[in-house]
Amino acid sequence: MNLSLDISDTDLVGLRTRLQHRLDRKTKPLGSLGSIESLALQIGLILRSEQPALVRPQLVVFAGDHGLAARGVSAYPSDVTWQMVENFLAGGAAVNVLARQHGLALTVIDAGVRHDFAPRPGLLDRKIAAGTADAFEGPAMSEAQCLLAVRAGREVVRELPGNALLLGEMGIGNTSSAALLMARLAGEPIERCIGRGTGLDDTGLLRKLAVLRGVLERHPRAVGPLQALSAFGGFEIAMLVGAVLQGVEDRRVVVVDGFITGAAVLVAQQMVSAVVSGCVFSHRSDEAGHALMLQGLGVKPLLDLGLRLGEGSGAALAWPLLESAVRLLREMASFESAGVVTGDDGTSQPAEGGAAA
């Protein structure tokens, strides 16, 4: 499997200059749209266009179960994974509401749920196994299973239309896998990486910490990105890694949700360092380690709303900001086209009869 990613392009320097010039010449004070300007610039670079448009956005939710969940690292039992998948397919979850609101095509991927689903529209069966193994006892996935899952994530994205990919997940216990990946790959103490997940109380949080410390001790040699991914799981995170790699390689705008999808980006980034430039980070979640993860990746999220739901809900909530950014870049008048004069410092000045900005 080819996991290389070449997004080098000598024309990008010129494109960046042209995009920045377009933004600076819009009828506004320099930089006055703040992070929206940075977002418009990033999307233009990803799509290689001075007038980018977001076409047929795809929201993909990868679901899988975790053997480690049996050790009480989550406030909910593993059965909630398949029950929530059924809820997605019935259209009743938060992510369904947001997808309908914003016109996002929603696809649910069974990456490794411990349940057999009846075939139906909106569901893709890419099950590797009925949940990962218990990472406390051994690797969550074999190397072969891990590579198969990464490849499956790539294939899912290759089959999707559009130029924008919003990523979500579902899997009881997957905040533990994400915390383990962060601790090992980012070199952070595990106590700085874990949070309450689905709502653990203080006793549950201490239990989770003890379990995860034991898992890290069990796998001292799982130091590379694929080694750590195999050791700590899960199938849905491995498929997310493949989805991120393929999405960036296809020059799609990849919108990252929260802590778990961020962990997938962390793995992908250690495989191919250019990955992060192709990703838009939708929000900073309320999961304790997420702010530290974003800081380590060197990125700034669009939103900070105290979310900790997952499902791709944060990516969907941030989606209108991406649409606004590209519309402003394409449709907002320039000083020249609007006949507005500028001052020496480049800021707008009121035309005759107009009001000061």
Is it true that the peptide bond before 234 is cis, omega within 30 degrees of 0?
A: yes
Active site (annotated) includes residue 137:
no
- CA distance linking residue 74 with residue 79, whole number of Å: 12
Amino acid found at 126: R
99, 134, 162 from 166: Cα distances, Å: 10, 29, 11
| Nearest CA among 279, 77, 66, 283 for reference residue 179 | 66
CA-closest candidate to residue 114, choices 147, 71, 70: 70
Give the integer Cα–Cα distance in Å for 24 and 328: 12
Closest CA to 98 of 261, 243, 282, 325: 282
At 125, give phi and psi (nearest 5°).
Answer: -90, 105
Q: Are strands 105-112 and 164-170 parallel, antiparallel or unpaired?
A: unpaired
Residue whose token pair is 């962060």: 182
CB 165 within 8 A of CB 158: no
3-state helix, strand, coil in the chain (%, to 5): 50, 10, 40
Place of tokens 């024309």: 11
**Per the residue annotation, which of 50, 169, 311, 352 is the catalytic one?**
311
Beta-carbon contacts of 239 under 8 Å, excluding residues fewer than 6 positions away, are: 62, 64, 109, 111, 126, 149, 150, 152, 153, 156
257 neighbors 315 (Cβ within 8 angstroms): yes
What is the side-by-side strand order in the sheet with 123-125? 123-125, 105-112, 58-64, 164-170, 253-256, 279-281
Catalytic center residues: 311
